[in-house]
Amino acid sequence: MSIDLNALRVLAAVARVRSFRAAADQLGVTRSAVSQSVRKVEDALGTAVLRRTTRSVALTEAGETLLERVAPALAEIEEAIAATATPEDTPSGLLRLAVSSIAESFLSGDLLASFVAAHPRVRLDIVVTDAEFDIVAAGFDAGVRLGEVIERDMIAVPVSLEQRQIVVAAPAYLAQAGAPVHPRELTRHRCVGWRSSADTAPYRWEFSEDGQDFAVAVDPEVTTNDMALMVKMARAGAGLTIGMAETFAPSLREGTLRIVLEDFCPPLPGFFLFYPSRRHLPAKLRALVDHAKEWRRDHLRSESFANGERL
């Protein structure tokens, strides 16, 4: 049995964007060509790899099994072709990143804007998502997440300063409901919670006391996967919410939000750029890794000077 590699590449694109039209636009071909490629794969396998309706496209179980094994190989083939077609010391091509929505410092624009300015032949395709998945199987070159949720077989490079997760609320809410003095009191408060996706449980708020980590399962009155909405709801007095300190920094400076339970919120290592361990790292990814390291060093130096420290 033989399957055209290009047809598999087309199938992977359809699965990634969940649309024949979007895949055609991304690949620069017609929608008919995309349909024909998918049909070639299904004819060769003798089974359907996609479920199609007028509103959605999704992989069948057979399709998921196929791409789970094939996607990493396709990525390696594309990298080999790119490395052969362009000098290895010239970063170029499409760099696909899956970035956590709460990675404020990475998504602020400064790091990414300076990177594309320094490497005009590299194009960035950034998907902001809090879902946990295999970035290689999904066709991404790298991802950015908190270090604690990165798989052990990945190479991880810090791309932020030390982070801290805090609990905040509007002054009006605290005046009316009072400020909790211990995290376990959160179950008696109105809370605005977070979940990564519709099919996952709400996040259990994490704290530390006397060197011991623990979590509190709050019962949020409002739950969302959008951090910006959580900030807005908290500012409007809807209740207590939790997130990275840098997310709330503007509101804290303005006085529209205040920190509570500060003694139970220790610092965290922060966000990491992670990617699979490979002997030959593509020039485009190596360029981003080096740029991120330099950007972080510059910000650490600036923070040290701001704190009156000598390097």
Q: What percent of the chain has pLDDT over 90?
A: 41
Q: How far apart are CA 158 and CA 112, in angstroms?
A: 15
Q: pTM for the complete prediction?
A: 0.65
Q: How sure is the predictor about 106, in pLDDT bands with cuts at 50, 70 and 90? A: confident
The neighbour count for residue 22, using CB atoms within 10 Å, is 16
Task: Kindly give the residue spans of alpha helices, DSSP state H, lying in 192-307.
Answer: 227-235, 245-254, 283-306
Is the predicted pLDDT of residue 229 greater than 90, yes or no? yes
pLDDT on residue 301: 66
pLDDT on residue 305: 45
The neighbour count for residue 38, using CB atoms within 10 Å, is 24
Distances (CA, A) of 144 to 3, 87, 171, 215, 252: 34, 27, 33, 24, 26
pLDDT digits (tens, 9 = 90+) for 30-76: 989 989 999 998 888 889 989 887 777 888 998 888 888 888 888 77
Q: What is the mean pLDDT of residues 281-306?
A: 80
Is the predicted pLDDT of residue 309 greater than 50, yes or no? no
Phi/psi for 227 (5° steps) reads: -65, -35
- Which residue, among 200, 206, 246, 257, has the nearest Cα to 223 in the 3D structure? 200
Query: Of 17 and 142, which is predicted with more confidence?
Result: 142
Q: What percent of the chain has pLDDT over 70?
A: 91
Distances (CA, A) of 302 to 91, 105, 110, 143, 296: 28, 14, 15, 26, 10
Q: How far apart are CA 127 and CA 116, in angstroms?
A: 16
Residues 6+ apart with CB under 8 A from 68: 134, 137
pLDDT digits (tens, 9 = 90+) for 246-292: 889 999 999 999 999 999 998 888 899 999 876 678 889 999 999 99
pLDDT on residue 262: 94
Q: How sure is the predictor about 310, in pLDDT bands with cuts at 50, 70 and 90? A: very low
The partner residues of 242 in beta bridges, in order of sequence, read 167
pLDDT digits (tens, 9 = 90+) for 108-141: 878 899 999 999 999 999 999 888 888 888 889 9
Q: How far apart are CA 22 and CA 263, in angstroms?
A: 49
**CB distance 139 to 75 below 8 Å:** yes
Query: Of 114 and 152, which is predicted with more confidence?
Result: 114
pLDDT on residue 311: 36
The distance between the two most distant Cα atoms of the chain, rounded to a whole number of Å, is: 71
pLDDT on residue 118: 94
Q: What is the mean pLDDT of residues 193-198?
A: 84
pLDDT digits (tens, 9 = 90+) for 5-37: 888 888 888 888 888 888 888 888 898 998 999
**CB distance 244 to 103 below 8 Å:** no
pLDDT digits (tens, 9 = 90+) for 199-222: 788 889 999 999 899 999 998 999
Q: How far apart are CA 80 and CA 310, in angstroms?
A: 45
Mean pLDDT of the chain: 86
